[in-house]
Structure 1
């Protein structure tokens, strides 16, 4: 198998996203990177559920983690009778699928396939563990390959020697954009909004670009209007946790306000990813509410006076009228034309 992570930054190497081996799933702790390189070792699928909920991994990282966790669940249940083993795996699939509600739709594509593989293997007296693992690696490789097409399409709209503004950490699209730019020798600068309260933009996105030699700057989330008003941004781009059929976007909270500012300053916003067929519009997406304490603390240290309350929606919703285009593996679509994407034969992605 040709691995598509060969020219990717450290964060995006397959083994550093999530990896099953010998009854354990190992996940690079993105809450600490790059300040510290530490791996969380999960010895049960429930520990993987907790790792996803606690943001050990995020963005597209959980797509891999849930698949690897299904392999772990198959390992955990190895001594159970077939009927009990299947029930155990069904419970694991449900828990992993719903580890974060906003993206359960996407996680479920991976976990449901892993469950089917397990059931078929058990029925035929085969070990499901390596089969689920191999399917998860193939899924990971498939996403990298597909997202390279997305990255190459995004490169087409980035001005030569221009400056892009990013939001949060777009996982594979970041790696694909870097790989495509290096291959074509296209030069551009990057400004990363820090992305409170976990600083994924500052710690993860900026690290990837800087590691690969790009001119990279971090700004706090409340500096976006300032830099846009000064002409420092040519294009705003983000990945998305959901792209609805009408071309609207659900992404890390803060995306909506940047999109509003981009619209005000006539800066195009290009969202990247694979649209979610079946999600008709923003009403079909439930936004995860996280523990308010995460807003009141920074790096584990409480920053607010006792009695101060927090508020933390993990995502916000950006309507299609604020989006210049959706950049996909099949091309670049205006939001109102996104239905054309679904009219073309689709390759499996997840």
Structure 2
């Protein structure tokens, strides 16, 4: 299959997300992008887990990182006997699959599929390293192609010269929206929240739209209401870390408050995501609480006085009444009727 990252911004080129080669996984350190394009090099799959937990990569970046991490795990155990290799890889699949709490179902789908192919390779006398690497590339191609359908469906909803508001970094679908807008000949104005405390919106989302040639405005988190009331925004959109089948959406902390403001002024919220059919209700959502010190510093430098405390939930949960419609690869659905999506069967997205 032809690689699906053609024409994507720098951040979304496969090698710039996470890449295995010669016993190492190289991950673009998004914490310092765009002013510093450096990579974290992992020589042990536990280092991949640490990179994910430290937000070296986030959004959908860990989907690639855990897959490449399975290739690295296979390299680490290549000199062991067959049974020991399988034991080592099974442990790696479980640990990489649970690198972060809220999205462990998605990570685990990737690592355990890779594990299955690695076991098949070992039993056939083939390379489990190549099995995991090739499966990760297949996953990337499949995901990018599927996200392009979502991006096309989202841009179909927009009038020419629409202004869209984003929060955090929606990863692949941002590049797909850019490609869809070009294909449909539509001009988009992007307003991207800064998204504290790591400023993924300012550093990542805004960079993609700017690189894509679209008018791009960064909106500090506490100015969202101002641009909404002034009438600058036509549509609010995000991806999601989880969408449960009863229509609740989990995304970067702050998503719900932006959705509330949009609802108040009549701006529709069209998130772009595939629902998680393995999460029937919002009771299945587990919110990851991060080390509060991470919200008291920026790029390694503390910016508040010693003794000041903080809290740091990674995500919040937006209820269906704040969601206008969910834009998926199979069309546009009411968050109250995702069973219609499920009727179309499960898909192999990750």
TM-score range, shorter chain: over 0.9
Q: List runs of 5+ in structure 2 lacking aligned partners.
A: none
Match of 1:25 in 2: 25
Match of 1:112 in 2: 112
Q: CA deviation at 1:346?
A: 4.1
Q: CA deviation at 1:305?
A: 1.3
Q: List runs of 5+ in structure 1 lacking aligned partners.
A: none
Tell me whether 1:171 sits opposite 2:171 in the alignment: yes
**Paired residues for 1:120-139 under 5 Å:** 120-139=120-139
**Contact map agreement 1:181 1:187 (CA 8 A) in 2:** yes
Q: CA deviation at 1:133?
A: 0.6
Rounded to whole Å, the distance in 1 between the matches of 2:162 and 2:272 is 18
Rounded to whole Å, the distance in 2 between the matches of 1:264 and 1:208 is 29
Rounded to whole Å, the distance in 1 between the matches of 2:328 and 2:344 is 12
**Contact map agreement 2:241 2:250 (CA 8 A) in 1:** yes
Rounded to whole Å, the distance in 2 between the matches of 1:204 and 1:70 is 26
Rounded to whole Å, the distance in 2 between the matches of 1:267 and 1:308 is 36
Q: CA deviation at 1:282?
A: 1.7
Rounded to whole Å, the distance in 1 between the matches of 2:148 and 2:117 is 27
Rounded to whole Å, the distance in 2 between the matches of 1:21 and 1:278 is 33
SS state at 1:272 partner: coil
**Contact map agreement 2:277 2:346 (CA 8 A) in 1:** no
**Paired residues for 1:293-304 under 5 Å:** 293-304=293-304
Q: Structure 1, residues 228-258: CA drift from partner, whole Å, max 9, x if none?
A: 1111111100000001111210000000000
SS state at 1:20 partner: strand
Rounded to whole Å, the distance in 1 between the matches of 2:282 and 2:317 is 7
Match of 1:208 in 2: 208
Match of 2:54 in 1: 54
Rounded to whole Å, the distance in 1 between the matches of 2:298 and 2:130 is 40
**Contact map agreement 1:238 1:270 (CA 8 A) in 2:** yes
Q: Structure 1, residues 166-203: CA drift from partner, whole Å, max 9, x if none?
A: 01000010000000111111112010000001000000
Match of 2:88 in 1: 88
**Contact map agreement 1:158 1:164 (CA 8 A) in 2:** no
Rounded to whole Å, the distance in 1 between the matches of 2:99 and 2:190 is 32
Q: CA deviation at 1:62?
A: 0.4
Match of 2:338 in 1: 338
**Contact map agreement 1:147 1:176 (CA 8 A) in 2:** yes
Q: Structure 1, residues 270-329: CA drift from partner, whole Å, max 9, x if none?
A: 011111002112210101111111111122211111111110000000011100000000
Rounded to whole Å, the distance in 2 between the matches of 1:165 and 1:102 is 24
Q: CA deviation at 1:125?
A: 2.0
Rounded to whole Å, the distance in 2 between the matches of 1:121 and 1:60 is 27
**Contact map agreement 1:12 1:175 (CA 8 A) in 2:** yes
RMSD: 0.9
Q: Select between 330-339 and 123-132 the one with higher mean Cα deviation.
A: 123-132
Tell me whether 1:269 sits opposite 2:269 in the alignment: yes
Match of 2:348 in 1: 348
SS state at 2:290 partner: coil
Match of 2:323 in 1: 323
Rounded to whole Å, the distance in 1 between the matches of 2:7 and 2:126 is 35
SS state at 2:271 partner: strand
Match of 1:224 in 2: 224
Q: CA deviation at 1:11?
A: 0.3
TM-score normalised by the chain length of structure 2: 0.98
**Paired residues for 1:192-207 under 5 Å:** 192-207=192-207
Match of 1:289 in 2: 289
SS state at 2:140 partner: helix
Rounded to whole Å, the distance in 2 between the matches of 1:126 and 1:159 is 52
Report the CA distance shift for 1:345/1:280 in structure 2 as closer, same or farther (over 3 A): closer
Match of 1:16 in 2: 16
Q: CA deviation at 1:48?
A: 0.4
Q: Structure 1, residues 127-160: CA drift from partner, whole Å, max 9, x if none?
A: 1111111111000010000000000000012222
SS state at 1:132 partner: helix
SS state at 2:50 partner: helix
Rounded to whole Å, the distance in 1 between the matches of 2:133 and 2:297 is 37
Match of 1:238 in 2: 238
Q: CA deviation at 1:126?
A: 1.7
